[in-house]
Amino acid sequence: MPKSPAGGPMPKDPNSKYDLGKISARVDRVNVSGLLRTHNDYVQRAAEGLFKADNFQSMMLEAMAAKSYLHELGIFKDVSVHIDISRGADATPQGYEVTLKGNEYTRIMGSAGTEIGQNEGSLRTELTIPNILGRGESISLQGSYSSSRANDVQLKFWKPFFHTRFRENRPEVSFSVFRQTDRFNISSFQTTNLGYLIDFSAHTMLGVDLTHSLQYENSIRDLGLLNKSVPFAIRDHSGPKLASLLRYSLVFDNRDNNVFPTRGIMLKSVNEYCGLGGNVAYTSSMAHGEMNVPLFAGLVAQFCGRVGVMKETKKTTVLPINNLFYCGGPLTLRGFEYGCAGPVVEGTPIGAQTFWCTGAHLWTPLPFAGVFKGLASHFRMHFFYNMGNSNAFTTDNMRSAYGLGLAIKLAERARIELNYCIPLSRQATDKASNGFQLGIGYEFV
In the complex, the residues that contact other proteins under the rule CB under 8 A are 220, 223-225, 227-229, 232, 235-236, 238-242, 277-279
How far is 423 from 388, CA to CA, in rounded Å? Answer: 12
Distance, in Å, from the CA atom of 74 to the CA atom of 209, rounded to the nearest integer, reads 22
143 CB-side CA count, 13 A: 4
Residue type, 29: R
Q: What is d(CA 100, CA 136) in angstroms, rounded to the nearest whole number?
A: 18
What's the closest the beta carbon of residue 182 comes to other proteins, in angstroms?
Answer: 17
| Cβ proximity to other proteins, 211 vs 238, nearer residue | 238
Query: Which residues, at least 6 apart from 399, have a Cβ–Cβ distance to it below 8 Å?
Result: 327, 328, 333, 336, 341, 387, 388, 389, 423, 425, 426, 427, 430
Minimal distance, residue 238 CB to other proteins, in Å = 4
67 versus 221: smaller Cβ distance to other proteins: 221
What minimum distance in Å lies between the beta carbon of 240 and other proteins? Answer: 6
- Sheet with 76-85, strands from edge to edge, namely 26-33, 95-104, 76-85
Tell me the HSE value of 274 on the side-chain side, using a 13 A CA sphere.
Answer: 28
Nearer to other proteins, 212 or 235 (CB): 235
Cβ atoms of 123 and 129 closer than 8 Å: no
- Nearer residue to other proteins within complex by CB, 241 or 426: 241
| CA proximity to 136, closest of 74, 228, 58, 91 | 74
316/377 with CB nearer other proteins:
316
Least distance from other proteins to the Cβ atom of residue 118, Å: 24
State how far the Cα of 266 lies from the Cα of 287, in Å rounded to an integer. 11
Name the minimum Å distance from CB 120 to other proteins.
19
Shortest gap between Cβ of 219 and other proteins (angstroms)? 10
With vertex at residue 389, the alpha carbon angle to CA 384 and CA 395, rounded to the nearest 5 degrees, is 85
Distance in Å, CB of 239 to other proteins, minimum:
3
Report in angstroms how near the CB of residue 408 gets to other proteins at its nearest: 31
What's the distance, CA 266 to chain centroid?
11
What 8-state DSSP symbol labels residue 295?
Answer: -
Q: 92 or 147, CB closer to other proteins?
A: 147
Q: In whole angstroms, give the CA distance from residue 255 to residue 259.
A: 9
CB of 67 to other proteins, least distance (A): 47
Residue closer to other proteins (CB basis): 185 or 204 = 185
Measured from the CB atom, the residue of 237 and 306 that comes closer to other proteins is: 237
Q: Minimum Å distance from CB 227 to other proteins?
A: 6
> What is the rounded CA–CA span in Å between residue 85 and residue 92?
9
In 3D space, the residue among 9, 52, 8, 7 whose CA is nearest the CA of residue 30 turns out to be 52
Q: Which is nearer to other proteins, 116 or 276 (CB)?
A: 276
Rounded-to-integer distance, Cα 226 and Cα 190, Å: 7
The helix (H) or strand (E) run that includes residue 426 is: none
Nearer to other proteins, 26 or 235 (CB): 235
